[in-house]
C-alpha cells in the first residue's frame, strides 16, 4: 500500500514538473490510479505528489496520522476523478483503497511525536500567513497585464486558490497567468511540504529518564551491576527506560531517526530480562520504531534473539584487563613500560582516587579541565559514556589525574599542575569501566598509557579486580585479516576498515587497547532484518556523536598541531579516544 502511494506520488510529481508528461500515455495510466488528482495546475500535482510520498512512508510505518491524512485525501481524489476527468474506473479504485484503509484502521495505530503536532500547526499558520502576504504582492506586481480592475477581495481569493494550485478569478494577458500560478503554487507547496514533514517525521523524544526511573535503575545496578561493564552507562539522562512487569529488569534506550536503540544488556535479574525485552518491543511497535540493540554481550544477544526472533551480528570486542594478571614485565609490555618510565622521569606524578575523595575546589578544576580539553562542542558517546563528572550522583567513580609542577620561573596553567585525567565509572562492586580520557595538549605524549597503568597499580587498594577499557569495533576482522593465509574477503574487509580509520579511530582503538594485553569479550548488534542495518548504523553514529562533517577537519587540524611520537597518540591527545563504538 505504501509503495502504491509512492508510485502515484512520483507520477503526480512528474506531471507537475514536465508538462509533456501530462499528455503522454504514461499519464493516461496515472489518471486511473488511486489518488491521482486531475492536474488542473502543475503546482497542484506537485503538492499531491509530495503528500502522497510522505503518506506512503507513514503508511508503511502504520502511523495513525498518516492514515487520517490518506483517508481525508482520497475523497478529494475521488471527487476530482468524477468531476474533472469523468474517470469512473479511477474513482472506483480510489474508493476501494479508501474502504481498505477504513476496514484495517486498527492496524494503523503507531503513535506520533507529541511535539511535532504543535510545530506543524505553528509552521502552517506562520508560513501560511507569509505565503499569503507574498502572494498578494505577486498578484499585484503586474498591474498593466491584469484584465479589468479586480477588487482586493478578488485578489485575495485568487491568492488562496493559487496556493492550492487552482486558478482564481483574476485574469492576465501575455502568459503572465502561468508565472503567477507557478509562483503561488510554489508557495503553497513550500507550506504544505514543510508542514507535512513536521507532522510525519520520525519521533525524536527528549530525555525521559525521570528521578524515579534513575532510582530504580540504581537499585538494580546495586544488585546486578557486576554482570555488564556497560550497565552504569544506563544512568545517562538522555536515555529512556522500560521496566519488566516485576520491576526486576529494565532496558535503557534512546530514539534516533526512528530507531529505538538499546545499549548493552538489560539491567537487572537475567530471569526478568524477557519481561523487559517484551515491554521494549511493545514500545517500538506502538511508535513504529525500528528496534535495535547496540553492544550487548553474548549472553544478552542470545536472550534478545530468542525472545524477539531478531538476528545478531558481531560488532567488535571489549578490552578487559584483570588487575591480578597485569604486569609491566615482559617483552610484550616493553613499549608501555618504556613510555611510562620516560614520562615519570620528566617529572609527572599521578593520583588515583574515588571522586567522593576529591576536595570541592579540585573537583571543580577537574570538571572545567575536562570540558576545556574536549575537542567537540558536546559530550560524545552513548553506549559507553556517562557525560558527566558528579561527586553527588557518582560518588564511587574513580578518577586518575596526571600532574606536572611548573618549572622555576614559569606560571601554572589555567588548571594548575593538572595535565591529564581519566574517569572510570563503577562496574559492580569490584570493577570499573573507562568513561573518558582527556589531556592538556601541551602535555607529553603517553599520558593515557601513564594513567591506565597508574589506575591498574592502584586498583587493589580500591578493591578493584577488573578494568574495562575501550571497545574495539571489528577487532577480529583487523586481527584475522593481517594473518598469513587470510582469504581475499577477509583482506578486503581489513583494507576497508583501515581506510575508514582515517576518519574514525577503528584501528587505533584496537592497537591502543592491545598494548595492555587484555582479554577480549565480543559485543554484538541485534537487528530485525538486514535491511535495517544501514539505518541502525546511521542512528548509532548519530547517538555516539560521530556523524558530523566538521569533525574530520577538527581531527586533522588537531593531529597536525600536536608533537606526538606515534600517529595513534595524536588521536589520544586530541581527546577523541573515548569509550565509543
pLDDT number for residue 72 = 73
Interatomic CA distance for residues 193 and 195, integer angstroms: 5
Most confidently modeled of 130-134, 500-504, 523-527? 523-527
> What is the C-alpha radius of gyration for the chain, rounded to an integer number of angstroms?
30
Enumerate the β-bridge partners of residue 354: 398
Dihedral in degrees, nearest 10, Cα atoms 484, 486, 490, 494: 10
Asked if the model's pLDDT at residue 571 lies above 50, the reply is no
Cβ-Cβ contacts under 8 Å for 283 (sequence gap 6 or more): 242, 260, 289
Which 8-state DSSP code applies to residue 172?
Answer: B
Grid cell at residue 22: 501530462
pLDDT number for residue 134 = 81
* 3-state SS string for 93-126: HHHHHHHHHHHCHHHCCECCCHHHHHHHHHHHHH
DSSP calls for 521-560: EEEEEEES-GGGHHHHHHHHHHHHT---THHHHHHHHHHH
Interatomic CA distance for residues 135 and 157, integer angstroms: 11
* 3-state SS string for 550-571: HHHHHHHHHHHHCCCCCHHHHH
Q: Are strands 267-268 and 290-296 parallel, antiparallel or unpaired?
A: unpaired
Give the residue ranges of DSSP H helices in 18-151.
25-30, 42-60, 64-80, 88-103, 114-139
Asked if the model's pLDDT at residue 69 lies above 80, the reply is no
Q: How many helices, marked H, and strands, marked E, lie in the chain?
A: 20, 12
Under the banding of pLDDT at 50, 70 and 90, the label for residue 376 is low
Q: Which of 185-194, 414-423, 502-511, 544-553 has the lowest mean pLDDT?
A: 544-553
DSSP calls for 223-244: HHTTS-TTGGGGG-TT-EEEE-
Grid cell at residue 486: 587470510
Chain position carrying cell 588521536: 571
Interatomic CA distance for residues 25 and 481, integer angstroms: 55
Q: Contact 427/226 with Cβ under 8 angstroms?
A: yes
The Cβ of residue 206 has, within 10 Å, a number of other Cβ atoms equal to 8
Cβ-Cβ contacts under 8 Å for 53 (sequence gap 6 or more): 5, 6, 9, 10, 13
Grid cell at residue 358: 576529591
**Digit-coded pLDDT (tens) for 415-456:** 889 999 999 999 999 999 999 999 998 899 999 999 999 999
pLDDT number for residue 508 = 81
Report the share of the chain in percent with pLDDT over 90: 35
Q: Contact 313/346 with Cβ under 8 angstroms?
A: no
Q: Are strands 249-256 and 259-263 parallel, antiparallel or unpaired?
A: antiparallel
Enumerate the β-bridge partners of residue 439: 420
Grid cell at residue 174: 501575455
Grid cell at residue 340: 611510562
Asked if the model's pLDDT at residue 102 lies above 60, the reply is yes
Under the banding of pLDDT at 50, 70 and 90, the label for residue 179 is low
**Digit-coded pLDDT (tens) for 475-507:** 877 777 777 677 787 788 778 878 877 776 778
Grid cell at residue 382: 552513548
Q: Contact 64/108 with Cβ under 8 angstroms?
A: yes
Instruction: Decide if domain 321-471 falls under CATH 3.40.630.30.
Output: yes
Interatomic CA distance for residues 202 and 54, integer angstroms: 11
**Digit-coded pLDDT (tens) for 319-342:** 999 999 999 998 989 999 999 999
SS3 label, residue 429 = coil
**First vs last Cα of the chain: how many Å apart?**
37
Dihedral in degrees, nearest 10, Cα atoms 306, 312, 318, 322: 30
**Digit-coded pLDDT (tens) for 193-227:** 777 767 766 555 555 778 899 999 999 999 999 99
Q: For residue 341, give Cα distances in angstroms to 336, 349, 453.
A: 9, 11, 11
Give the mean model confidence (pLDDT) for residues 249-257.
Answer: 89
Interatomic CA distance for residues 78 and 88, integer angstroms: 9
Interatomic CA distance for residues 277 and 285, integer angstroms: 12
Interatomic CA distance for residues 82 and 32, integer angstroms: 11
pLDDT number for residue 549 = 38
Alpha carbon 542 to chain centroid distance?
Answer: 3
Question: Domain boundaries in the chain?
Answer: 1-25+35-200, 321-471
Q: Contact 358/391 with Cβ under 8 angstroms?
A: yes
**Digit-coded pLDDT (tens) for 268-320:** 999 999 999 999 999 888 888 889 999 999 999 999 999 999 999 998 899 99
Enumerate the β-bridge partners of residue 84: none
Sign (positive or negative) of CA dihedral 573, 575, 579, 580: negative
Dihedral in degrees, nearest 10, Cα atoms 461, 466, 467, 469: 160
Asked if the model's pLDDT at residue 187 lies above 90, the reply is no
- Exposed, middle or buried: residue 442 (CB in 10 Å: 0-12, 13-18, 19+)? exposed
Interatomic CA distance for residues 93 and 133, integer angstroms: 39
- Exposed, middle or buried: residue 540 (CB in 10 Å: 0-12, 13-18, 19+)? buried
Q: Are strands 398-403 and 519-527 parallel, antiparallel or unpaired?
A: unpaired
Interatomic CA distance for residues 203 and 58, integer angstroms: 12
Amino acid at each position: 500500500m505504501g509503495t502504491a502511494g509512492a508510485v502515484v506520488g512520483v507520477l503526480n510529481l512528474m506531471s507537475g514538473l514536465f508538462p509533456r508528461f501530462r499528455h503522454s500515455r504514461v499519464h493516461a495510466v496515472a489518471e486511473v490510479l488511486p489518488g491521482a488528482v486531475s492536474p488542473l495546475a502543475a503546482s497542484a500535482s506537485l503538492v499531491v505528489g509530495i503528500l502522497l510520498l510522505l503518506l506512503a512512508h507513514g503508511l508503511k510505518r502504520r502511523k495513525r496520522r498518516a492514515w487520517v491524512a490518506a483517508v481525508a485525501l482520497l475523497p478529494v481524489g475521488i471527487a476530482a476523478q468524477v468531476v474533472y476527468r469523468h474517470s469512473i474506473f479511477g474513482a472506483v479504485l480510489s474508493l476501494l483503497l479508501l474502504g481498505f484503509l477504513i476496514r484495517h484502521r486498527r492496524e494503523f495505530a503507531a503513535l506520533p511525536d507529541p511535539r511535532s503536532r504543535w510545530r506543524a500547526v505553528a509552521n502552517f499558520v506562520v508560513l501560511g500567513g507569509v505565503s499569503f502576504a507574498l502572494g498578494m504582492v505577486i498578484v499585484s506586481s503586474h498591474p498593466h497585464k491584469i484584465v479589468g480592475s479586480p477588487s482586493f477581495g478578488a485578489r485575495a481569493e485568487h491568492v488562496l486558490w493559487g496556493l492550492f494550485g487552482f486558478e482564481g478569478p483574476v485574469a492576465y494577458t501575455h502568459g503572465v497567468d502561468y508565472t503567477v500560478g507557478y509562483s503561488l503554487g510554489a508557495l503553497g507547496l513550500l507550506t504544505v511540504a514543510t508542514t507535512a514533514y513536521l507532522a510525519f517525521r520520525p519521533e525524536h523524544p527528549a530525555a525521559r529518564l525521570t528521578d524515579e526511573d534513575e532510582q530504580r535503575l540504581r537499585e538494580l545496578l546495586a544488585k546486578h551491576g557486576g554482570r555488564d561493564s556497560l550497565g552504569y552507562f544506563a544512568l545517562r539522562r538522555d536515555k529512556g527506560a522500560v521496566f519488566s512487569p516485576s520491576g526486576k529488569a529494565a532496558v535503557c534506550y534512546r530514539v534516533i531517526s526512528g530507531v529505538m536503540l538499546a545499549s548493552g544488556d538489560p539491567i537487572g535479574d537475567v530471569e526478568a530480562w524477557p519481561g523487559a525485552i517484551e515491554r521494549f518491543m511493545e514500545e517500538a511497535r506502538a511508535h513504529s520504531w525500528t528496534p535495535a540493540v547496540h553492544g550487548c554481550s553474548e549472553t544478552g544477544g542470545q536472550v534478545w534473539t530468542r525472545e524477539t526472533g531478531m538476528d545478531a551480528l558481531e560488532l567488535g570486542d571489549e578490552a578487559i584487563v584483570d588487575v591480578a594478571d597485569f604486569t609491566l614485565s615482559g617483552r610484550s609490555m616493553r613499549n608501555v613500560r618504556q613510555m611510562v618510565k620516560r614520562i615519570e622521569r620528566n617529572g609527572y606524578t599521578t593520583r588515583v582516587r574515588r571522586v567522593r575523595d576529591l576536595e570541592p575546589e579540585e573537583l571543580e578544576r577537574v570538571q572545567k579541565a575536562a570540558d576545556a580539553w574536549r575537542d567537540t562542542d558536546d559530550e560524545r558517546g552513548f553506549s559507553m559514556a556517562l557525560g558527566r563528572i558528579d561527586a553527588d550522583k557518582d560518588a564511587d567513580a574513580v578518577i586518575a589525574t596526571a600532574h606536572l609542577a611548573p618549572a622555576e620561573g614559569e606560571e601554572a596553567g589555567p588548571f594548575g599542575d593538572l595535565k591529564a585525567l581519566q574517569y572510570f565509572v563503577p562496574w559492580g562492586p569490584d570493577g570499573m569501566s573507562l568513561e573518558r580520557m582527556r589531556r592538556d595538549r601541551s602535555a607529553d605524549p603517553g599520558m593515557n598509557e601513564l594513567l591506565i597503568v597508574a589506575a591498574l597499580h592502584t586498583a587493589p587498594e580500591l578493591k578493584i579486580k577488573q578494568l574495562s577499557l575501550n571497545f574495539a569495533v571489528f577487532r577480529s576482522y583487523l586481527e584475522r585479516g593481517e594473518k598469513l593465509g587470510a582469504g581475499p574477503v577477509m583482506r578486503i574487509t581489513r583494507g576497508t576498515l583501515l581506510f575508514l580509520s582515517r576518519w574514525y579511530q577503528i584501528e587505533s582503538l584496537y592497537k591502543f587497547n592491545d598494548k595492555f594485553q587484555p582479554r577480549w569479550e565480543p559485543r554484538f548488534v541485534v537487528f530485525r532484518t538486514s535491511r535495517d542495518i544501514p539505518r541502525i548504523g546511521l542512528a548509532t553514529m548519530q547517538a555516539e556523536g560521530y556523524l558530523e562533517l566538521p569533525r574530520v577537519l577538527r581531527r586533522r587540524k588537531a593531529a597536525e598541531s600536536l608533537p606526538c611520537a606515534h600517529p595513534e597518540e595524536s588521536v589520544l591527545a586530541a581527546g577523541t579516544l573515548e569509550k565509543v563504538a
